[in-house]
Amino acid sequence: MHRLVYFAVPGRGEASRVALALSEIEWEDVEVNGEQFRSMQEKGELPWNMLPVLQTEKGTIAESSAILRYIGKFAGLIPDDSYEAAKVDEFIDGMGPLARGLDTTWGISDDEKRIQMRKELFEPEGVCGKSLKMYDDKIASSTSGWAANTSDMSIADLKLFTEVFALFSGNYDGVEKSVIMRYDNLMKYHDKVANDVRIKNHYSTISKEDIRWTFLPDAFKN
């Protein structure tokens, strides 16, 4: 039995949740709150003092990308071709600036300042805005339509799809839905992934009132 431990939000654990669901691994989705998280830190249960972690029979795996790569092998989401596999890793590692940019806003308690800073981050010249433009360009240059230009969906797609589009769910004040709609290629990519039968089936029970509504087909249609 594998146990994925993370908060009750998509965040950096959602891609691994989807990969686990697409695999044949027996697993449990363990959602924790802030108090439980701090307790795990105090008990030394987190290898790098962060979530998510994946608890396996052999031990605990930390770091979201390492977890995703581990699960991806079981889910058939890592290419057999060495070059394609390396390009998947490249794409995943290249996504760091977006998350790090948003991370700088979590400690801002003043609502007005936090919202203003997030808006600036997602401006075209902001760190997050530049990241979105880069993803948009990479999708435009992909002949297959998949994030890392692989022949089929990979873990890079799970990471891009869940981590980018979740930002525009309304759960993050100051990050407006209109921002992502500036990027035509990312919008087309959203349609491709959300309508893939594997993803569509996974989110088939999700309503538009759910925090994961941005993963539904036509989520960004006016």
- Each residue's pLDDT tens digit, 155-196: 999 999 999 999 999 999 999 999 999 999 999 999 999 999
**What CATH number does the domain located at 82-200 have?**
1.20.1050
* pLDDT category of residue 17 using cuts at 50, 70 and 90: very high
What is the chain written as a DSSP string?
Answer: -EEEEEESSSTTTHHHHHHHHHSS--EEEEEE-HHHHHHHHHTT--TTS-S-EEE-SS-EEESHHHHHHHHHHHHT-S-SSHHHHHHHHHHHHHTHHHHHHHHTTTT---HHHHHHHHHHHTSTTSHHHHHHHHHHHHHHH-SSSSTT--SS--HHHHHHHHHHHGGGSS-STT--HHHHTT-HHHHHHHHHHHTSHHHHHHTTT--TTSTTGGGSTTTT--
User: Whole-angstrom Cα distance, residue 130 to residue 136?
Assistant: 10
Q: Hey, do 2-75 and 82-200 end up sharing a CATH topology, with the first three levels equal? A: no
Average pLDDT over residues 90-108: 93
Residues 65-93: tens digit of each pLDDT: 999 999 999 999 999 999 999 999 999 99
Q: Which fold has domain 2-75?
A: Glutaredoxin (3.40.30)
**CB within 8 Å of 115: residues ≥ 6 apart:** 173, 174
pLDDT at residue 221, as a whole number: 85
pLDDT greater than 70 at residue 112: yes
pTM: 0.96
What pLDDT was estimated at residue 222?
A: 67
Averaged pLDDT, 195-207: 97
**Domain locations along the chain:** 2-75, 82-200
